[in-house]
Structure 1
Amino acid sequence: MRLDDLQDDDCFALRQASRHISKLYERYLSEAGITPTQFSILRTLGRCPGLTMVRLAKAMVMDRTTLVRALKPLLQRGLVVASCEGQGYRRLRVVLTRRGLTKLDEAVVHWATAQARFERSFGKQQAAHLRTELFRMTGNVSEE
């Protein structure tokens, strides 16, 4: 494969863009002591309290094993708690703690700075259009 062949590679382009944008958010969110993935988990739980592991994994587009690895530091730091419920304790719910809410409030400030920086460099309308298209794409792509 030649380097110019990559210009037609959608997967390569998306992964390259994702890594580039993730670095920007990592730089800002690190000031709050969390990663972009951890921020997304906290934010998702802040908007949808008490999600089961299955529903949280689906919302994050992660398999359960990857989600468990991502949750581990949040659990250890007391930012979230997981509680079992239901028959035989088969349903594990993840809840944001008061400390987690405080961390989320702190991190939102850093996230907003990263968001504004991205929108300044990429263009506010282009960023909105990109988000719309990416959410449309992930809503239309079925797992095979």
Structure 2
Amino acid sequence: MQLRKAARKIGARYDAVLAPVGINIAQFSLLRAVERRQPVSLTELGRTLDLDRSTMGRNVRVVEKLGLVRLDRGEDQREAVVSLSEHGVAVLRVAEPLWERCQRQVADQLGPTRLQLLGELGQLL
């Protein structure tokens, strides 16, 4: 319960910082993952973000409706591939310094020992 509470609080901080650009932390993470691998299949994107394909498809459709990504057919016509749109690139460029500032604030507040522990928990679980 305490871990979920902490995760919600940290997530809410990032969401508040990213709100002016119209995205939340989950969407920011998705856009960054797409940017690094584009064009990327929904299956591979789900693997990267540790989400099942159906959840990944729903999440991608949300950012597609916001005009942040494009969905196309891959070489295998059964698989959809995702790429950032021009608007998605622009939103990501505005969001990055906001995210980085929040990241530094959270790291400063947690301190190096807790930050290391948080990283270890992520690897452990």
TM-score strictly above 0.5: yes
Equivalent position of 2:106 in the other structure: 118
Equivalent position of 1:105 in the other structure: 93
Q: Does 1:132 align with 2:101?
A: no
| Correspondence list, 1:1-144, <5 A | 12-87=1-76, 89-123=77-111, 125-126=112-113, 128-138=115-125
2:41–2:74: 8 Å Cα contact kept in structure 1? no
Structure 1 length normalisation: TM-score?
Answer: 0.78
Work out the CA distance in 2 between the residues paired with 1:105 and 1:131: 27
Deviation, 1:128, is: 4.1
Deviation, 1:127, is: 5.2
| 1:95 maps to amino acid | S
Equivalent position of 1:5 in the other structure: none
Identity %: 28
Deviation, 1:99, is: 1.4
Equivalent position of 1:7 in the other structure: none
Work out the CA distance in 1 between the residues paired with 2:95 and 2:29: 10
Work out the CA distance in 2 between the residues paired with 1:25 and 1:91: 32
Structure 1: gaps spanning 5 or more residues: 1-11, 139-144
1:32–1:110: 8 Å Cα contact kept in structure 2? no
CA root-mean-square deviation: 1.6
Work out the CA distance in 2 between the residues paired with 1:67 and 1:35: 15
| Secondary structure of the corresponding residue to residue 34 of structure 1 | coil
Say if 1:130 and 1:51 are closer, same or farther in 2 by CA, change over 3 A: farther
Work out the CA distance in 2 between the residues paired with 1:52 and 1:33: 24
Aligned residues: 125
| 2:124 maps to amino acid | M
Moved over 4 A (4+): none
Work out the CA distance in 2 between the residues paired with 1:16 and 1:55: 30
Structure 2: gaps spanning 5 or more residues: none
| 2:120 maps to amino acid | E
Work out the CA distance in 2 between the residues paired with 1:41 and 1:72: 11
